[in-house]
């Protein structure tokens, strides 16, 4: 599900809405696509966070993992993105989270921010991933190799 793809402003190649990629999706995330989405000539600082499925959690080997999202997740993801873009001098912002079954090593969440300077980009990226993990209702169901299972909130 695509939540938001930004529109073009009157200026060539400049987006009026800094939120250029915002998705909950059931297919692979490519880190290079997320980074490319936030490139801009005015963005001297681009930072990103990429979260991958671990081979173990809490010392227990993971067999399978599946993410589920509440129907309100897209709207809440947009709210987080709007809040981060409003709190920092963001030129471009992207956030993508997987849903469905993922294998160990697959990219589960990717966020990236482009700002004029690195400090603002670091601060905005940190706020973005923290708020996505703690405010967007996405749950992780893990099955371990010993047959035990657990459901975990996105944080």
Q: Where are the beta strands (DSSP E) in 1-155?
A: 2-4, 19-25, 45-52, 56-57, 60-69, 90-98, 100-102, 107-115, 138-144, 149-153
Q: For the chain, how long is the longest CA-to-CA vector?
A: 57
Residue 154 has pLDDT above 70, yes or no: no
Percent of the chain with pLDDT over 70: 89
- What's the CA gap between 152 and 30, in Å, rounded? 24
DSSP helix/strand/coil, 132: helix
Q: What is the mean pLDDT of the chain?
A: 91
51-108 pLDDT, tens digit per residue, is 999 999 999 999 989 999 999 999 999 999 999 999 999 999 999 999 999 999 999 9
We find that the CATH architecture of domain 2-52+70-137 is Alpha-Beta Complex (3.90)
25-41 pLDDT, tens digit per residue, is 999 999 999 999 999 99
Q: What is the pLDDT of residue 153?
A: 80
Q: What is the pLDDT of residue 2?
A: 54
Cβ atoms of 61 and 96 closer than 8 Å: no
Residue 15 has pLDDT above 80, yes or no: no
What pTM was estimated for this model as a whole? 0.88
Q: What is the pLDDT of residue 3?
A: 54
Residue 109 has pLDDT above 50, yes or no: yes
Residue 24 has pLDDT above 60, yes or no: yes
* Strand 138-144 versus strand 149-153 pairing type: antiparallel
Q: Please state the φ and ψ torsions of residue 18, each to the nearest 5 degrees.
A: -70, -15
Q: What is the pLDDT of residue 25?
A: 98
Q: In 10 A of CB 104, how many CB atoms?
A: 14
Residue 155 has pLDDT above 60, yes or no: no
Using pLDDT thresholds of 50, 70 and 90, give the confidence band for residue 42: very high
The radius of gyration computed from the CA coordinates of the chain, to the nearest angstrom, equals 16
- What's the CA gap between 25 and 85, in Å, rounded? 22
């Amino acid at each position: 599900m695509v939540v938001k793809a930004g529109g073009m402003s009157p200026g060539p190649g400049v987006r009026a809405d800094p939120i250029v990629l915002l998705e909950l999706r059931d297919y692979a995330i490519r880190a290079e696509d997320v980074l490319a989405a936030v490139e801009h000539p005015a963005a001297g600082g681009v930072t990103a966070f990429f979260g991958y499925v671990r081979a173990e959690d809490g010392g227990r080997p993971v067999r399978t993992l599946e993410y589920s999202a509440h129907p309100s997740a897209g709207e809440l993801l947009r709210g987080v993105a709007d809040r981060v873009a409003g709190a920092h001098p963001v030129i471009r912002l992207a956030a993508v989270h997987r849903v469905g079954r993922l294998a160990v090593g697959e990219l589960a969440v990717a966020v990236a921010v482009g700002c004029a300077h690195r400090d603002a980009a670091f601060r905005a990226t940190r706020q973005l991933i923290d708020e996505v993990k703690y405010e967007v209702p996405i749950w992780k169901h893990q099955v371990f190799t010993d047959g035990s299972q657990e459901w975990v909130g996105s944080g």
